[in-house]
């Protein structure tokens, strides 16, 4: 991942942040991301992010679990090794419902958490660049990505005008961390050419 | 859609005092960042000692077999399975708080969910010990898993409630752990970014998985929590249902009843809330978190206790009535002679159960009592004892006299090693809880911040609509523009 140039501003109140997000988008700036210490409902909508499909993934994992359980138990008890439990039918579906249910939940939960971690690139020992360490405390940090058309001074004064505090230019490497390919690039290293 | 949801002034504040986001971080991180107190060390060392004695007890059992326990011809489950069911039940409150109350949009869960979920995980860890060590030849414990083996392969019996239990408990543990930890990640990131010491930076850095708080990540996090809550809700009901199937699918008088699943689930939530009270009444005091775990929280939980306690009471009476009404001699004998009859060998345990679980919680109909911390703590202990006796009554009084009077056993009383094993799980539970309360935030920081402007005391008074323009409208407009 290449190092990119950002203009960041801090906000301390949702009442300022929301109008600011709207103004920024209206003004045509590209919001890289807004980092918040807690989930703010509606912010994703305001930023124009699409809904997550994690639910769908969860459903697919769930039916995988159901199929695995029913399929495996059916095979084990009716095909592979039939055991006569007190003359009951070999295909005893009602008795398998508890395990089928548990595996449905297990597959869905484990699959969703792994998918979540993959999508958000979260894993033990992963370290990411932080625009402002206070963004996990009480600060909402909005980062505007600078493209070659962006006028830095203009972006800075714009962020200040919409209520951003502590506005500054930062060079950060963001993006996908699992399986980074440019191992020679040191993080936190300032790369001027990236901005151009 | 306005940013803030209006919340009635009638509802008491969930966060007391004049708080802002930073103050919340400070308050909740303080116990984690401070040096452990003498009190913490005392509690921790006592827990480890309990655990140590417990390990000795279990070692004795492994070396000499389950003969070290006083189990006999008909009482094959004794203390061991009593403790198993008791611990599993305790776990249920955590999931109820974190999952069911999330689905019901109960704001007060945010103050107590983290500690309650931790309690769930530790309780399930304790519960799992009992069936495992009860196997005797514990080195063969992996036989319960359906793995391809050289004996055929001979598969496990998927029709058996005991195997359902294996799947239920392990799934429950896994899902609870994932739910708990996924909620912890943002809070661990908060600790990471505040950490001053090198080891703390490293530890919380590794543990927080590189969380940044990006809006997209939060969106996914919310979706994940919601779906995990939706999965955990039927899961928690299924787990104790399956535990009750261990009994209900048998033909033992006193066990063979259809009321067991709902009755066990209500009992589990009842005992679980009692344990949450035991822990939180102390935790909030010691860690000075009274403004986050307020009297309101305590009161609400006491309401849950009186509700579930009464459901349990009705279940006891229904079970009793059905035993009589069914005209099954064996069933009625189990209830009349083995339980109701105070003069019978175990009659006393039935009445302890009745007194602790049905009569005593009725005091919580009074608001003053619900808000009395000393009483709450005392009652929580009483209920824990009562719920332990419930499982003891079910297990022992049903089997110590079975169908053949010639097989009626002698009086079952546990050996020191059985008691020691029970103590071991207390040691394990509290060792884990002490470590948790020292190294992790006991309150979900992000979730408290989330409800602050809606339910915080200093915001409730001056609540007004922040936005003139609705966000939904704005999003719509932007979509059409591009």
What's the pLDDT tens digit per position in B366-394? 999 999 999 999 999 999 999 999 999 99
Do residues B171 and A106 touch, judged by C-beta distance below 8 A? yes
C-alpha B241/C-alpha A81 separation (Å) is 29
Q: What is the pLDDT of residues A57-93, one digit of tens each?
A: 999 999 999 999 999 999 999 998 888 888 888 998 9
Give the neighbor-by-neighbor strand order of the sheet with A165-173: A31-35, A140-145, A3-11, A165-173
Do residues B92 and B240 touch, judged by C-beta distance below 8 A? yes
Complex prediction ipTM: 0.89
In chain B, positions 346-375, which contact chain A (CB-CB < 8 Å)?
A: none
For residue A196, the model assigns a pLDDT of: 43
Using left for φ > 0, alpha for ψ between -120 and 50, and beta otherwise, residue A42 falls in left
Chain-chain contact of B25 with A19 (C-beta, under 8 angstroms): no
**CATH code for residues A3-51+128-191:** 3.30.70
Q: Write out residues in chain B with pLDDT < 50, as ranges.
A: 1-4, 464-467
C-alpha B408/C-alpha B400 separation (Å) is 6
Query: Which two structure tokens, joined as six digits, stand for B420?
Result: 């020691």
For residue B467, the model assigns a pLDDT of: 46
For residue B460, the model assigns a pLDDT of: 64
Cβ count within 10 A of residue B312: 26
For residue B121, the model assigns a pLDDT of: 94
Do residues B53 and B80 touch, judged by C-beta distance below 8 A? no
- pTM attached to this predicted model: 0.90
Task: Report the relative pairing of strands A31-35 and A140-145 from DSSP bridges.
Answer: antiparallel
C-alpha B116/C-alpha B279 separation (Å) is 9
Do residues A129 and A2 touch, judged by C-beta distance below 8 A? no
Tell me how far CA of residue B57 lies from CA of A44, A65, B133, B261, in angstroms: 55, 39, 11, 32
Query: Which two structure tokens, joined as six digits, stand for B409?
Result: 């056993």
Cis amide leading into B153 (omega within 30): yes
Do residues B345 and B411 touch, judged by C-beta distance below 8 A? yes
The structural domains of chain A, with segments of one domain joined by +, span 3-51+128-191, 54-119
C-alpha B4/C-alpha A194 separation (Å) is 40
C-alpha A77/C-alpha A44 separation (Å) is 49
Q: Which residues contact B221 (CB under 8 A, 6 or more apart)?
A: A39, A116, A120, B182, B186
For residue A1, the model assigns a pLDDT of: 54
Handedness of CA B357, B362, B367, B368 (dihedral sign): negative
In chain A, what residues touch B149 (CB-CB under 8 Å)? Answer: none
Chain-chain contact of A49 with B216 (C-beta, under 8 angstroms): yes
The structural domains of chain B, with segments of one domain joined by +, span 21-461
C-alpha A187/C-alpha A168 separation (Å) is 19
**Comparing C-alpha atoms, which of B453, B449, B446 is closest to residue B190?**
B446
* Nearest-neighbour CA in chain A from B441: distance (Å): 13
C-alpha A95/C-alpha B330 separation (Å) is 27
Identify the CATH assignment for B21-461 out of 3.50.50.60, 1.20.120.10, 1.20.120.1200, 1.20.1630.10.
1.20.1630.10
The whole-number average pLDDT for the span A126-148 is 85
- Chain B within 8 Å of A109 (Cβ-Cβ)? yes
C-alpha B140/C-alpha B65 separation (Å) is 13
* Nearest-neighbour CA in chain A from B189: distance (Å): 7
- Chain A within 8 Å of B224 (Cβ-Cβ)? yes
For B150, list phi and psi in degrees, rounded to 5.
-90, 5
In chain A, what residues touch B20 (CB-CB under 8 Å)? Answer: 138
Residue found by looking up tokens 């006592």 in the block: B46
Which chain A residue shows the shortest CA-CA distance from B228? A109
- The answer, yes or no, to whether residue A190 has pLDDT greater than 60, is no
- Chain B within 8 Å of A130 (Cβ-Cβ)? yes
Residue found by looking up tokens 């909030």 in the block: B284
For residue A49, the model assigns a pLDDT of: 87
* Nearest-neighbour CA in chain A from B450: distance (Å): 6
What would you report as the CA-atom Rg of chain B, rounded to the nearest whole angstrom?
A: 24
Question: Could you say which of A34, A45, A88 has the minimum Cβ distance to residue B471?
Answer: A45
- Chain A within 8 Å of B470 (Cβ-Cβ)? no
- Chain A within 8 Å of B474 (Cβ-Cβ)? yes
Alpha carbon B298 to its chain centroid, in Å, reads 16
Chain-chain contact of B450 with A108 (C-beta, under 8 angstroms): no
- Chain A within 8 Å of B426 (Cβ-Cβ)? no
C-alpha A46/C-alpha A44 separation (Å) is 5
């Amino acid at each position: 991942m290449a190092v990119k140039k950002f203009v960041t501003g801090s906000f301390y109140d949702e009442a300022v942040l929301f109008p600011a997000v709207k103004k920024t988008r209206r003004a045509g700036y590209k919001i890289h991301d807004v980092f918040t210490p807690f989930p703010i409902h509606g912010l994703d909508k305001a930023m124009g992010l699409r809904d997550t499909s994690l639910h769908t993934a969860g459903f697919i994992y769930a039916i995988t679990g159901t199929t695995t359980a029913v399929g495996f138990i059916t095979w084990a008890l009716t095909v592979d090794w039939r055991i006569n439990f007190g003359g009951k039918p070999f295909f005893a579906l009602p008795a398998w419902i508890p395990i089928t249910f548990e595996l449905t939940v297990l597959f869905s939960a484990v699959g969703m958490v792994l998918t979540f971690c993959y999508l958000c690139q979260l894993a033990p020992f992963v370290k990411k660049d932080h625009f402002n360490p206070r963004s996990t405390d009480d600060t909402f940090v909005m980062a505007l990505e600078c493209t070659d058309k962006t006028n830095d001074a203009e972006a800075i004064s714009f962020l200040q005008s919409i209520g951003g505090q502590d506005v500054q230019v930062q060079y950060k490497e963001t993006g996908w961390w699992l399986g980074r390919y440019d191992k020679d690039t040191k993080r936190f290293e300032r790369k001027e050419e990236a901005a151009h | 859609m306005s940013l803030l949801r209006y919340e009635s002034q009638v509802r008491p504040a969930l966060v007391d005092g004049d708080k802002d986001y930073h103050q919340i971080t400070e308050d909740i991180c303080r116990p984690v960042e401070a040096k452990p107190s003498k009190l913490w060390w005392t509690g921790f060392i006592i827990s480890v000692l309990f655990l140590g004695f417990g390990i000795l007890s279990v070692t004795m059992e492994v070396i000499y077999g389950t003969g070290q326990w006083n189990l006999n011809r008909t009482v094959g489950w004794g203390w061991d399975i009593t403790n198993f069911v008791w611990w599993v039940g305790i776990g249920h409150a955590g999931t109820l708080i974190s999952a069911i109350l999330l689905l019901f949009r109960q704001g007060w869960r945010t103050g107590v969910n983290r500690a309650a979920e931790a309690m769930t995980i530790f309780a399930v860890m304790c519960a799992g010990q009992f069936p495992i060590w009860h196997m005797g030849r514990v080195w063969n414990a992996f036989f319960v898993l359906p793995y391809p083996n050289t004996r055929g392969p001979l598969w496990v019996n998927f029709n058996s409630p005991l195997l359902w239990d294996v799947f239920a408990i392990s799934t429950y543990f896994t899902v609870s752990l994932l739910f708990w930890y996924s909620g912890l990640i943002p809070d661990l990131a908060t600790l990471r970014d505040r950490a001053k010491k090198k080891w703390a930076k490293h530890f919380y850095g590794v543990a927080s998985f590189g969380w940044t708080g990006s809006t997209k990540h939060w969106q996914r996090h919310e979706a994940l929590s919601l779906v995990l809550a939706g999965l955990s809700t039927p899961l928690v009901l299924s787990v104790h249902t399956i535990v009750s199937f261990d009994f209900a699918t048998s033909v033992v008088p006193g066990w063979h009843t259809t009321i067991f699943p709902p009755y066990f689930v209500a009992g589990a939530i009842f005992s679980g809330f009692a344990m949450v009270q035991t822990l939180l009444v102390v935790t909030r005091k010691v860690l000075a978190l009274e403004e986050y775990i307020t009297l309101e929280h305590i009161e609400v939980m006491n309401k849950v206790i009186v509700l579930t306690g009464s459901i349990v009471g009705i279940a006891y009476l229904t079970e009793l009535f059905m035993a009589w009404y069914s005209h099954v001699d064996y069933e009625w004998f189990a209830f009349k002679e083995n339980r109701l009859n105070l003069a019978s060998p175990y009659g006393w345990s039935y009445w302890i159960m009745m007194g602790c679980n049905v009569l005593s919680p009725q005091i919580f109909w009074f608001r003053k009592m619900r808000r009395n911390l000393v009483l709450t703590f005392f009652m929580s202990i009483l209920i824990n004892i009562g719920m332990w006796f419930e499982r003891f009554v079910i297990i022992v009084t049903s089997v110590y006299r079975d169908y053949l009077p010639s097989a009626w056993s002698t009086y079952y009383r546990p050996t020191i090693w059985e008691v020691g094993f029970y103590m071991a799980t207390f040691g394990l539970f509290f060792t884990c809880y002490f470590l948790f309360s020292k190294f992790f935030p006991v309150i979900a920081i992000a979730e408290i911040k989330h409800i602050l402007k809606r339910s915080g005391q200093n915001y409730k008074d001056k609540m007004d609509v922040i936005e003139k323009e609705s966000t939904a409208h704005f999003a719509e407009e932007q979509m059409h523009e591009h």
